[in-house]
Amino acid sequence: MRAPTISPISRLLIGCTALASITISSLSQADTLAKIKENSSVRIGYANETPFAYTATDGSVTGESPEIVEKIFQRLGIETINPVLTEWGSLIPGLRASRFDLIAAGMYITPERCKQVLFTDPHYQLPDTLLVKTGNPKNLRSYEDIANNPDAKLAIMSGTVNLAYARKAGIKDSQIVQVPDTTSQLQAVRTGRADAAIGTQLTMKGLAEKAGDQVEATTDFKDDPAHTGYGALAFRPQDKALRDAVNAELKKWLGSEEHLKTVEPFGFDRSNVTDKTAEELCSA
């Protein structure tokens, strides 16, 4: 059968449609950045997780990620940061629904998340550890220890990468207690609803300090080095211009004395700085 022919007029129309589509896409990318600059304000989505992003006792929002956002957007000429509190598992849906302009919650870059959002290059690297009752009565020091003890239960914050890691290690769903935030993880361990909680080293240490002598963060957690977390800011896929502008400022600023002074109160130091890129982490 002869292939259908396309008239010159049709070709012109197809070409104009494609060009219009590209132009609209480019405008939409530039529009978010332009709107933020025009209003001199940006909306950030965060979930309460110390030390990454959380509501302080005075009602202000702080943490490693919001403080970095404030410094970087100041460099872009934006003065006002409007925080939007969201449960962790709703951060990406909330971003994609335009409830806020970016996620500033220390979110790890993973290939699966890269299909849904655009990440900056990471602004920290961090391993995980367990939160357990003082003395670690069930001797839990790895995902495998929990998998090998059918009576052990692990509290995991919904929407985190730890759920996939736990299942891959052989932990059954009946052993997993999914909770909405880190405060619920602490409560689960305190009350015996879970024997351990999993999260970043800094988060678990912070929870242990908050709980006094009831719980402790393990110091000898055995984990796959590939599970090291790389946290970054996340943007809608159509906001590449905004992501690129932020990423350019981050590249110049990360590792500087001002950066290290900004994140020091949250337990971060030069050892958390990484030269990994979002591109390599997304394709891992």
Q: Which residues lie below 8 Å from residue 194, measured CB to CB, with a gap of 6+? A: 153, 154, 155, 177, 185, 188
What are the pLDDT digits (tens) for 39-87? 999 999 999 988 999 999 999 999 999 999 999 999 999 999 999 999 9
The tokens describing 180, both together, are 């909405």
How far is Cα 169 from Cα 37, in angstroms, rounded to an integer? 46
Token pair 């629904």: residue? 97
Spatial distance between the Cα atoms of 87 and 95, rounded to a whole number of angstroms? 12
Measured CA to CA, the distance from residue 123 to residue 277 in angstroms comes to 10
Domains 34-125+229-283 and 128-226 share a fold: yes
Domain spans of the chain? 34-125+229-283, 128-226
Distance of alpha carbon 62 from its chain centroid, rounded? 15
Q: What are the residue ranges in the chain where pLDDT is below 70? A: 1-30
Separation between Cα atoms, residue 66 and residue 45, nearest integer Å:
9
* Domain spanning 34-125+229-283: CATH 2.120.10.30: no
Amino acid 30: pLDDT: 61
Helix (H, G, I), strand (E, B) or coil at 188: helix
Q: Which two tokens stand for residue 130?
A: 């367990």
Q: Are 242 and 120 in contact, with CB atoms under 8 Å apart?
A: no
**Which CATH number does the domain 128-226 belong to among 3.30.365.10, 2.40.170.20, 3.40.50.740, 3.40.190.10?**
3.40.190.10
- Res 11: pLDDT: 41
Residue 53: per-residue pLDDT = 97
Tokens found for residue 191: 């009350």
Whether residue 131 contacts residue 207, with contact meaning beta carbons closer than 8 Å, is answered with yes
Rounded Cα distance between 25 and 67, Å, is 31
- Counting Cα atoms < 13 Å in the Cβ hemisphere of 106 gives 28
Question: Which tokens hold the place of 239?
Answer: 């906001």
At 269, list the tokens: 């130091």
Lookup result for tokens 């970087």? 72
DSSP code per residue over 217-265: E-S--B--GGG-EEEEEEE-TT-HHHHHHHHHHHHHHTTSHHHHHHHGG
Model pTM score? 0.74
